[in-house]
Structures are given as structure tokens and as C-alpha cells.
Chain A
């Protein structure tokens, strides 16, 4: 109540964008306190849920990763420090999965960046049918990954599928490289529109006047794109790359449906799932979990170094 009256007499409309900003000192501290309490109160449910579901499990997975813990032989559970890490890191299956994951991530994200940029330009600049393009390209984004994956699987199934019918009936999903290409294709199809939307948000920041001025000065479309659009969009491009890279690194659904990790096509997530849920080996599964977490942290760290101040987290919210 007290700060409300202070506001009444004190602040003008010019400071309207500021949070409660009373002038008197005593009122300020009281108002500040109330604001803090409300802030914490409002954030508490979200913060507590996130911490409860991630914080303790992360610590717990580190503990589990240092134990021999196989649910098939629960009485042989014991503390073995880093033996699981030695086992995993010296396993050719693990490194195979790491390379498959890295390969899929790098290739799909690179292709998505190019296709996504093209799609973003189409959505941004289209003279006709902009609504139709935007609506239909949201379908791959929204569709359940497993559904899309089944569609691709049946399309390539010899006999059943239109693609295998059209392109000869070699079973593509039973050999490593062709299978990985199909997985990559499914992944690219699904996520290019998301990439395009993120890039489109960046395109919207490019001032039209600048492009027109450059065109007047005789810059070609390609020059305008490289010299003006891309530099202004750089933060948006980095955000899109970061999100997609980390997302691609977790690839699971498409692989599960398309190959189930056979013929050496396991990603790290697939391998962890197989050890954990199929093999019921909590120790090894948790070790892989921790290793994946470390790899993702490394990727995020590198990206955030690249971002500098453009990182989404460094924007301190309320102040505009």
C-alpha cells in the first residue's frame, strides 16, 4: 500500500517501463522486499520442479556410474569407482556410436542450415502464398517424430514402399551407410522447418532500407545476402545452430524406428537406452549418461564462447 501511494506522487509516465520505482528511501526498501518475495514466490514452483527432476538425478547418475549395478544380478552390486568408465571408453561399440552421432549431427545440421536458410527466405520474402508455405512447413515441425519415422520406414520397405518401388527394391535399411542416410533424411525433413523459423526471426531484424540502399549501389542479391543479411543475422544463426546441434546430438526416435540401432547405426542415446532398458545395466547406462552429458556440455561451451554476449542466457530478462 505504502509504495502505491509513493508512486502516485512520485513517478511520471516516462519511467513506466521500469518495475516499481518509488522515490522515498524507506518505501523503496519495503517495496523492494515485497517485490523480491513475490519474485521468489512466483518462480518457486518452476525452479523446484526443474531442480527436483534434474538436480538430484544428475548427482544420482554420477553415483550409479561408479557402481557395478546390473538389475539382472542385483546382489553383485558394488562400488567400483571408474571401472565402468574404463569399460565404456575402451568399448568399440561406444566409439562407433559416438562417431555415428557426430557424423549424423554434423551432416544433418549443415544440410538443415542451408535448406533452412532457403526456406526462411521463401517464408520471409514470398510474394504469394506466404500463409500456405508457413502453414505446411509447420507440419514437419509438429508431427510426432515416431509417426514421421514410420512413414519413412514404410516408404523404404521393399514391396510396401513407394520409394523402394521407385528406386529399385534394394533394402536400404539393412546396411549401415544407406540406413544412416535414410535416418539423416528423416531427421532433416523433420527439423528443417524449425531451423527455418529461427532463421526467419533473424531475417526480420534485417532492415529493408539497408538492402534497398545496397541494391541502389549495385550490390547483387548474393552480395547483399553475404555482406548485409548474414552479419546482421549472425546471432540468430548461432542460436539456431546451437539448438539444432544439441537436439541432433540426442537423436533417438528416428533411429529407434528406422534401424533400432542394428548394423552399427546406434547413436549414443540408442546405445544408452539399449544398455539401460534392454540390458538393465544401470551402472554402464549411467556411465554413458554422464559421458553424453559431458559431451553436450562441451558443445554448449564452445557455442557460448562463439556467441559472446549474444548468448540467450546473458540477456538479463526484465531490463529492456
Chain B
């Protein structure tokens, strides 16, 4: 019996190993392909080989020598960081209130955030385009930061309130017994405990802002505020005979690096954040 059990486990392990390999290949192939393209020299760019025959850095040199890409990178980083910071601060405040306090209008706020999470973003593009043009926000950083905050807030509120419900609130009570006001209890006791949840939320929100394409392409028109995904879609070769694929691939790899780093270092947190926020509501 024990022998059979042992063989069974080895067999199972091999089976799992195979399944895991399938998943890993599935997830990585498109990424490896774009990395490979980005390292191909212009001569071998169009050879259709999965692995470069000739490795070269010329695509990277090309993109970093144009302001079209570097400026877009600055825009992407700046806009995503500012939007993330604001959304996480607002989201933390609201989620604390939702998880801990009793006040009229709470369910309404939860409902409204849920509505916004499901909202077809393209429906906002037409009015925002016109409103931002008349307010002078069109093609500016705030013009993108505002919709990003708005669409990140539901995500932030759900994820954070799920985290906040797991916090040992007895500590807050103890602080209050010692004479702390609810505000002090929030700042001194709960905020440090909540930091991991807040951090996780910040990663998810950053990924969301980093990823956006629809708002970025609709509400910008120049290098001044164009983000990388949009700049990518406008890349043309430096001459009409040059295939922009190499530059696009190199730029694509550059903006994938932060995502890969997040995933490698914070896998557990991201999984926890996505599952708790979306399912426990």
C-alpha cells in the first residue's frame, strides 16, 4: 500500500511538473518573443526566427535617442505615480470609513464604486474630451490623472476595505481607551497595521494606470502628456523604409520591466489583493 502510494506521488509530481511547464510556456511566450524582437538587429528583424540570429542593442539606442520615447516614459511614470498616490490616499480614507464606521450613505458609496468599476470607459471619453478641452485640461497630466484616480478608486476601496476587515481592531479600541480620538487611532495604530494592504493596493492601482490606453490616446494629442502605450502606437521608423517593429519591441520591453519586477517580488501580495478585493467585495 505504502509502495503504491509512493509511486503514485512520484507520478503525480511528474504530472504536476508537466502541467506547470505548460502554464509557464503559455504565460511567457509572447513576452519572450517581444524581448527577442527587441534584441534583433535591423538586418535580421524580419527573419521570422523566434530567437535572434544576431543580437544587438541598436533598437534600445534608437528609442533612447528620441524624445518621442523618453518624454513618453517620463509622462507614464509621473502620471502613474501621482494618480496612484492620490487614489491610494483617498481610497484608504474611504475604505477605513467603510470598514469601521457606521454612517448614512455608506452603502451608496459602495454601490457607486461598484458602478464605476463596471462602467464602460469609452462612454466617458466623449464628454471628457469636450469638458477637458474647454477647461484647458486636454493634453495635460491632470487631464489623465483625474480619470485614472476615478477608475482606480473602486479597485482601491474594495481591496483596502477587504484588508481592513482583517485587521485586529481591538488595538484601535485599546488606543481609544487610552484617550486617543478616532482620528488619532486611525493615524497611530491602524495606519501602520494597514500598510501592507495599502502597499498591495498601490501596486494594483499602479498597474492599472500604467496599462491604460483608451484615455491616454483620447485625451492627449502631443508629446507633452502622451504615455508610452500611446507613443508606441505612433512609432514609425526613422525613415519610411525602416520597420518600426524593433523600436516598438524595445520600448515595449522597457515598460514591461516594472511589471515583471512587481510580479517577481510581490507575487503573494498581488494574488492576495486581487482575490480579496474582487470576491469578498
The finding on whether chains A and B are genuine partners in a shared complex, rather than unrelated, reads yes
Residue ranges of A at the interface with B (Cβ–Cβ < 8 Å): 1, 4, 7-8, 13, 16-17, 19-20, 32, 34-36, 38-40, 42-43, 45-47, 49-54, 56-58, 60-61, 64, 119, 122, 126-129, 131-148, 150-152, 154-155, 157, 159-162, 164-165, 189, 193-194, 197-198, 200-202, 204, 235-236, 239-240, 242-243, 246, 249-250, 252-253, 256-257, 268-269, 272-273, 276-277, 282, 285-286, 288-290, 292-293, 295-296, 300, 311-313, 315-318, 320
For chain B residues 204-256, which have a beta carbon within 8 Å of chain A? 207, 210-211, 213-214, 217-218, 228-229, 232-233, 243, 245, 248-249, 252, 255-256
Q: Which of B56-64, B101-109, B192-200 contacts A (4 or more CB under 8 A)?
A: B101-109
Candidates B23, B91, B252, B262; contact of A46 at CB < 8 Å:
B91
Contact B24 A133 (CB under 8 A): yes
Contact A129 B20 (CB under 8 A): yes
Candidates B106, B131, B260; contact of A57 at CB < 8 Å:
B131
Contact A253 B213 (CB under 8 A): yes
Contact A142 B207 (CB under 8 A): yes
Residue ranges of B at the interface with A (Cβ–Cβ < 8 Å): 9, 12-13, 16-17, 19-20, 23-24, 26-28, 30-31, 33-34, 37, 45-50, 89-91, 93-94, 96-107, 109-114, 116-131, 146-147, 149-150, 153-154, 157-158, 161, 165, 169-170, 173, 176-177, 179-183, 207, 210-211, 213-214, 217-218, 228-229, 232-233, 243, 245, 248-249, 252, 255-256, 259-260, 262-264, 267-268, 270-271, 274-276, 278-281
Whether A151 contacts B23 in the complex (CB less than 8 A), given A45-B93, A53-B147, A60-B130, comes out as no
Contact B130 A129 (CB under 8 A): no
A residues near B183, Cβ cutoff 8 Å: 38
Contact A276 B34 (CB under 8 A): no
- Assembled-state Cα–Cα distance A50/B114 (Å): 11
Q: Would you mind naming 13 contact pairs between A and B with Cβ atoms under 8 Å apart?
A: A38-B101, A43-B98, A46-B90, A142-B260, A144-B213, A144-B256, A239-B278, A249-B120, A257-B233, A272-B122, A272-B126, A315-B281, A316-B107
Candidates A39, A137, A290; contact of B102 at CB < 8 Å:
A39
Query: What residue in chain B is nearest A296 (Cβ atoms)?
Result: B120
- Assembled-state Cα–Cα distance A164/B47 (Å): 11
Whether A64 contacts B256 in the complex (CB less than 8 A), given A155-B33, A202-B279, A317-B107, comes out as no
Query: What residue in chain A is nearest B235 (Cβ atoms)?
Result: A150
- Assembled-state Cα–Cα distance A1/B117 (Å): 39
Whether A138 contacts B214 in the complex (CB less than 8 A), given A42-B94, A154-B37, A239-B278, comes out as no
CB distance from B34 to the nearest CB of A (A): 4
Whether A292 contacts B177 in the complex (CB less than 8 A), given A46-B157, A147-B252, comes out as no
A residues near B264, Cβ cutoff 8 Å: 135
Candidates A16, A132, A285; contact of B173 at CB < 8 Å:
A16
Contact B19 A61 (CB under 8 A): no
Q: Which A-B residue pairs are the 6 nearest by beta carbons?
A: A312-B281, A39-B103, A201-B275, A165-B48, A57-B127, A53-B150
Contact B126 A276 (CB under 8 A): yes
B contact patch SS: helix
CB distance from B155 to the nearest CB of A (A): 11
Contact B94 A43 (CB under 8 A): yes
Contact A269 B214 (CB under 8 A): yes
**Highest count of chain A CB atoms <10 Å: which of B99, B267, B278:** B278
Candidates A64, A144, A276, A312; contact of B210 at CB < 8 Å:
A144
CB distance from B118 to the nearest CB of A (A): 5
A residues near B228, Cβ cutoff 8 Å: 144
A residues near B263, Cβ cutoff 8 Å: 135, 138-139, 142
Contact B126 A201 (CB under 8 A): no
Whether A58 contacts B106 in the complex (CB less than 8 A), given A143-B259, A150-B252, A162-B49, comes out as no
Contact A13 B109 (CB under 8 A): no
Candidates A17, A19, A47, A129; contact of B94 at CB < 8 Å:
A47
Contact A20 B182 (CB under 8 A): yes
Whether A252 contacts B122 in the complex (CB less than 8 A), given A128-B16, A139-B260, comes out as yes
Contact B94 A189 (CB under 8 A): no
Whether A142 contacts B262 in the complex (CB less than 8 A), given A200-B275, A282-B126, comes out as yes
Contact B17 A128 (CB under 8 A): yes
Whether A300 contacts B99 in the complex (CB less than 8 A), given A46-B153, A47-B112, comes out as no
Contact B177 A4 (CB under 8 A): yes
- Assembled-state Cα–Cα distance A250/B235 (Å): 25
CB distance from B269 to the nearest CB of A (A): 11
A residues near B274, Cβ cutoff 8 Å: 141, 194, 197-198
Contact B121 A7 (CB under 8 A): no
CB distance from B232 to the nearest CB of A (A): 6
- Assembled-state Cα–Cα distance A277/B214 (Å): 11
Contact B94 A296 (CB under 8 A): no
CB distance from B237 to the nearest CB of A (A): 13
